[in-house]
Amino acid sequence: MLKNLHLVAGEWASGSSTFTSEPAHGPAHEFAAGTPDLVDQAAKAAEDAFWSYGYSSPVERAAFLDRIADEIEARGADITEIGTQETGLPAARLEGERGRTVGQLRLFARYIEKSDHLDIRHDEAMPDRQPLPRPDLRLVQRPIGPVAVFGASNFPLAFSTAGGDTASALAAGCPVVVKGHSAHPGTADIVAQAVDAAIKALGLHSGVFSLIQGGKRDVGTSLVQHPLINAVGFTGSLAGGRALFDLCASRPHPIPFFGELGSVNPMFILPAAIANRGAEIANGWSASLTMGAGQFCTNPGIAIVLDGPDADAFTETAAAALTAVAPQTMLTDGIADAYRSGVARTGKDTAVRELIGTSCSTREASPYLYTCSGDAWLSNEGLGEEVFGPLGLIVRARNVEQLREIALSLEGQLTCTLHLDEDDNPVAKELLSILERKAGRILVNGFPTGVEVCNAMVHGGPYPASTNFGATSVGTMAIRRFLRPVCYQGVPISLLPEYLLD
């Protein structure tokens, strides 16, 4: 079932060393570890593939995306089996994520078939215009070349080997070199087999997709600094993402780094809403906070309320709901260690009061709940740092004016949420004008842990939520990250691609 190797330009390659997976349960496996030399081979093959794949038609690329989806589905049982072993996620979660993965491949296929991603514009020639004639001008978005993708720890399918970054790059016409995440190498292995099967079935250039597994830090460094790589897609920690971002910027020819680095996704629960529906919102927040052991980049870690009896009732209900949540297995030992560190950092703040605490000494995580005043939040930037796991903080603001101050103090977020009833509209309108400058997605009376894959979705935001506020890593607009506009002036029709013609 497993190759336990790298896929480089259609060949399953070994390396000079190996690493062993660390599954939550089930057998461990040895995999070949990546090297800078393998990265070089994959990048060169991707550049060679671009001369055919980058000039293929949208219809041809759509067929490729559809075939990848078919091949992943054909391996569905194997993917679920090893995915649950490696990550500890339940089978239903893996099956749902697989559905999302193949669904976004097919969504992108339908989207590019219509050429909507090309943003074609045509200004016809005006030879008789005075005082100067105007030439024929045609604009189209063109693929940028080979793209590097880093697999995510928390989404072994939807944000990894054939996930959103890979799918959007392939849809754009860009070959992809994936750096697999060591948390789920077996899952990456089987998905890479599916992509390889699709390449061979359609007779595409073998360099259109490669997978490099594991390896030391120099593997990732060599990938983002390789002169043939033209952009990088990344989902992960702020520290790791910022380090790669800086490497991309320091290259002799800098390239864009599309990093999604997470956020605390604050929720503002306004006075009428908490008075009328406080218990309902508290229970919903608790469920969202602990979903998947809190290992979502859209996990709503902060709830901001007005101090008073309604805040007391909200806190009591949330505490009761979180106390009832059983321990959950985290994706890796490293993530569990980082969660414990985040808990310790939060608990050390003397202005923060612990409401629910427990002992998390293994890969199992239990919820923690803290509360602090609005003054404490505003005076301690560290409270706004993400803790990856089921940790919640209730911030109690003195008044509506302090709600605005807290909103203004926020760093960039993936999401911000307003819970409101009709009587809250005046306050909500003021907050909305602030929050739209802070986040890529604004929710009302919902919870952000569900990210719909569709045309209108934005999964990104101002730094540090992401490194490019004008981009999204989810939805059809994600394809535009790997395209650049080219204007054709006075080029004969016989030389233009068919999709540029009127």
Token reading at 69: 């989806």
At residue 160, φ and ψ (nearest 5 deg) are -130, -125
**280 catalytic, yes or no?**
no
Q: Which of 311, 295, 318 is nearest to 236 (CA)?
A: 295
**Secondary structure element (H or E) that encloses residue 462, with its range:** none
Count the neighbouring beta carbons within 10 Å of the beta carbon of residue 121: 11
**297 catalytic, yes or no?**
yes
Tell the burial category of 217 from Cβ atoms under 10 Å away from its Cβ (0-12, 13-18, 19+).
exposed
Q: Which of 260, 372, 386, 416 is catalytic?
A: 260
Q: Which of 71, 86, 174, 297 is catalytic?
A: 297
**Secondary structure element (H or E) that encloses residue 364, with its range:** strand 364-365
Cα R_g (the chain), whole angstroms: 24
Distances in Å between the Cα of 148 and the Cα atoms of 177, 180, 396 are 5, 11, 43
C-alpha to C-alpha distance for 183 and 332, rounded to whole angstroms = 6
DSSP state of 288: H
Sheet with 413-419: list strands edge to edge. 353-356, 368-373, 391-397, 302-306, 267-269, 413-419, 439-444
Classify the C-alpha dihedral 302-308-309-310 as positive or negative: negative
Length of the chain: 502
Catalytic site positions:
260, 297
